[in-house]
Amino acid sequence: MFVKNPEYFLTIAKERSISKAAEQLYLSQPYLSQYLAKLEHTLGVALMDRSHTPLTLTTAGEVFYAYLERQSYLDRQLFSDLRDIQDRNRPVLHIGVSPWRGAMLLPDILPLFTPQFPDVQVVLHEAAVPELTKLAEDSVIDFCIMHIPSDLTELSYELIMREHVFLIGHKSHPLLRGLDSPYDRPLQFTQLRQLERERIIMLPSDWRLAKLLHNTFSVLNIDPQNILVTTNNTTAINLAAENMGFAFLQESGISRTPYLDRLACFTIGDPPLTCPTAVVYKKNGFLSPAARAFIDLTKEFYRRFNRDGNF
């Protein structure tokens, strides 16, 4: 459907006021009011609830707003793709990941993706998990691979899987000595209280995995006394491999460490504690065929960690 001057309606919705929108658009208020009335007449529905101040979108208005946002994004994507073709530029796929996940994913997925899309240039945006949400909201990246964000106002997601959370520690530690619990056959660790005075290497407390663990500690009335906070899972693995503490990590973040022979890995709880991993992207955004192919390859990659069918 062709909508004339869609930015007029989008501005009214964002400003929640016809007069403020008119100022933003350098239009007169009567003209913008007439525009809205004609638009509603054409569509046959009320788009704004005028009984509220500031204005609010009706249910039909919310649907129409989402449509216009998606149309605007598709228009920009179309012109960008056509410009790339004209200029013979390579199409670009922007992917957001945390540094450790990028180091783990790309060596497995790129060799499968590149033969299918040899002309696509992959740009990796490696950032801390909280920053990835902002990159997706601002359409800087096509999608990111991360935990499900708490605020989904502007984002959509596809669940990849619920990964087991592993407790890892050096095999020679007194609490683990004699326990045969390798990465591919982990035992359940049932003595979490014994870790209260051990050094525990944790991600920041506002990150999804840390929140899950702090909630687990609270339920079990466990109060760790020695927490070392890092934003890098690789740091956590390396410290655990040097017998400098215990770490809690999602299992896929451990698979490529060269120190697996030094580490014992354990699940936590029954059923085992898990943390959801998802593909996150802008709501109503456009996923190119290359983006969709990369996402599908990522889902297939994570299937190898699916020990119990827990998607």
Q: What is the pLDDT of residues 118-147, one digit of tens each?
A: 988 888 888 877 788 888 988 889 999 988
CATH of the domain at 197: 3.40.190.290
> Residue 287: its pLDDT value, please?
86
Same domain, 245 and 198: yes
Same domain, 100 and 154: yes
| pLDDT tens-digit readout, 182-202 | 998 999 998 899 999 999 999
- Look at the chain and report how many structural domains it folds into: 3
Same domain, 256 and 269: yes
3-state secondary structure of 223: coil
> Residue 292: its pLDDT value, please?
93
CATH of the domain at 114: 3.40.190.10
Dihedral, CA of residue 64, residue 66, residue 72 and residue 76, to nearest 10:
-160
The contacts of residue 117 (CB under 8 Å, 6+ apart) are: 93, 290, 293
Same domain, 77 and 16: yes
Q: Which of the listed residues 36, 52, 85 is the one where a domain comes to its end?
A: 85
> Residue 75: its pLDDT value, please?
67
Q: Which of the listed residues 42, 60, 85 is the one where a domain comes to its end?
A: 85
143 bridge partner residues: 95
Q: Taking the CA of residue 290 as centre, how many other CA atoms within 13 Å lie in the half-sphere pointing to its CB?
A: 20
Same domain, 268 and 286: no
Beta strands in 225-273 (DSSP E): 226-229, 246-250, 263-268
Taking residue 172's Cβ as centre, other Cβ atoms within 10 Å add up to 10
Do the Cβ atoms of 288 and 235 come closer than 8 Å? Answer: no
Burial (CB < 10 A; 0-12, 13-18, 19+), residue 244, is middle
Residue 13 placed within a domain: yes
Weakly modelled stretches of the chain, pLDDT under 50: 311
Range of the domain at 119: 89-160+277-305
Residue 310 placed within a domain: no
> Residue 228: its pLDDT value, please?
94
Residue 1 placed within a domain: no
Residue 226 placed within a domain: yes
